[in-house]
Structure 1
Amino acid sequence: MDPITILAPLALLIIGSAVGSGKIINEGNQALVERLGQFHRKLEPGLNFIIPFVDSIVVEETTRERVLDIEPQEAITRDNVSLIADAVLYWQIFDLKKAYYAIDDIENALKNLVLTRLRTEVGQMELEQTFSARKEINQAMLAELDDVTDAWGVKVTRVEVLDIMPVQTVLESMEQERAAEIKKRASILEAEGAAEYMNRISQALRSQANSKEVLQFYLAQRFVDANYRLGESPNSKILFMDPKAMSEALGELMGTETDVPNGSNGSNGNK
């Protein structure tokens, strides 16, 4: 048999094995090699050689920082208010061997860990605290996550709570409470304004010689105006009111001076 015929397949096999044994790892990545089913070594960026059919690359991952978005989740505050909170996690692998062999699904594990810590932090606060304590929540979560993920070969570089928002039913309740508070304040201000208005009228009338007559005229006018407006209302009612009783009531605010003309000392004029 021709030697060339024998050596040609052997040469092709050697060349093929040499080509197949060369593995290029891109910058920013690492790879793990197993030999006969056991961890053998880690491949760094650049050209690496492995033994065909004996060695196998089981994983190649980036060691650059990555972002993991945490979908909005429900949490309950210490005062039993339901909130919706979401966050974003920045992380990177510093030990690929641990990240591959110590945990099955690293991203899912990180996501569940963030959700657990987020609910725990929110549950320690009351509703009003959560609106201003976002920085404290971030710092507390980062410290907890960093401790746990170290065993996974992962470094959590930053965690940010993006939004904390009460659920729709809580928002509606808060709006109703705010509207009731505004209405209550308006009623108080209106009552205070009316009292101040009556007090000024009383002070002005005290300086008039015919204060009682002016008061009676004013109250009668107001009485007629009020009845006119009641008559225009679709839910109008008939209202009977004694203007004299109204004038006497306001006269008590003014004091007995309303019955005494200016310049009089209250006597019958006898000296």
Structure 2
Amino acid sequence: MEELMSSNLLQTNFAVMIIWGGIFAIFILKLFQSIRLVPTKSAYIVERLGKYHSTLDAGFHALIPFIDKVAYIHDLKEETIDVPPQECFSSDEVNVEVDGVIYISVTDPVKASYGITNYRYAAIQLAQTTTRSVIGTLDLDRTFEERDLISAKVVEVLDEAGATWGIRVHRYEIKNITPPETVKNAMEMQVNAERERRALLAKSEGDKQSKINRSEGVMAETINRSEGEMQRRINEAEGKSEEILTLAKATSESIERLASVISSPGGQSALRMQLGEQYLKQLDGLSKKDTRVVLPGNMVDFDYWLQSIGLKEDK
């Protein structure tokens, strides 16, 4: 009996030791858990007995075991959140698939913890609904051109909600806008037609410019030829004018010199003598050509004839 009692006592003591060992281990674990090293750009939300107590910034912090606990851990760096693809209808009733990326960061860890259950999920849902509403006001062609407008509208709406959620939306980018295959084929045909139209227009503009250049070249050639012909005629006229002026000047000088010689003493006799010599030379030439020459019958008549033609002075 005593052995049985001692055995039960030992078992009881062993169980108590195990319990106290477990309690001590839990206390040590909680003690280590109460020591927190918060990294840079992070924020820890501490609750004391289930109520918000404080926000731990970067550095070393010690909490009260079993009373304080870290309820939320937030990364304060900017993060990207993918917005899943969704179907949207444009104003011309075309169904397109749109996806994007949100760039956000936590600015108020307390609001991000208690202002909303999951701010990431809420930001995605709000971005999708805003994107659908904006695309619903645009035609299909404008949805590809107004990406900045859609992004700006989503950022504006998320910023208004982010003030309550403790987050800041930096930007929203649309990754893809995918229309149906039929619409895509129609758009490709339209692009090809526009490309062919531009090619034909460019070719026609080139032909037009080529013809203009050729006509301008012909016109310039014609003008140059006419100007050259005009200048040639002007030069010939000027040459003839200079020749006539030179001849007139020489004739005038010759006449002046001849008049001066005639008016000088013995000038008229010399002139008659020269004219007589020329006349006799002409008679001599006529006689060599077997030509008949009629002379006066006597010398008196011959002298009279010379006087009539001015080759002999009248005594």
TM-score by length of 1: 0.58
| Among 59, 62, 66, the residue aligned to 1:49 | 62
The higher-RCO structure (CA 8 Å, 6+ apart) is 1
List per-residue Cα deviations over 1:73-130 (Å, max 9, x = no partner).
Answer: 1110011111111111000001111111111122111111110011111111011111
Q: Give yes or no for the alignment of 1:67 onto 2:80.
A: yes
Q: Give yes or no for the alignment of 1:128 onto 2:134.
A: no
1:1-271 matches, within 5 Å, as: 19-175=32-188
Please give the secondary structure, in 2, of the residue aligned with 1:60. strand
Query: Which stretches in structure 2 are left out of the alignment for 5+ residues?
Result: 1-23, 197-315
Contact 2:34 2:64 in 1 (8 A): yes
Letter in 2 for 1:151: T
Match of 1:235 in 2: none
Distance of aligned partners of 1:181 and 1:36 in 2 relative to their CA distance in 1, 3 Å threshold = closer
Question: How far did residue 14 of structure 1 move?
Answer: 8.9
Letter in 2 for 1:24: L
Letter in 1 for 2:124: K
The separation in 1 between residues aligned to 2:28 and 2:128, in whole angstroms, is 52
The separation in 1 between residues aligned to 2:26 and 2:91, in whole angstroms, is 70
Contact 2:105 2:167 in 1 (8 A): yes
List per-residue Cα deviations over 1:181-215 (Å, max 9, x = no partner).
Answer: 999xxxxxxxxxxxxxxxxxxxxxxxxxxxxxxxx
Distance of aligned partners of 1:168 and 1:35 in 2 relative to their CA distance in 1, 3 Å threshold = same
Question: How far did residue 21 of structure 1 move?
Answer: 2.8
Identity %: 31
**How many pairs are equivalent?**
176
Distance of aligned partners of 1:140 and 1:181 in 2 relative to their CA distance in 1, 3 Å threshold = closer
Question: How far did residue 139 of structure 1 move?
Answer: 1.2
Contact 1:71 1:86 in 2 (8 A): yes
Letter in 2 for 1:21: S
The structure having more radius of gyration, on CA atoms, is 2
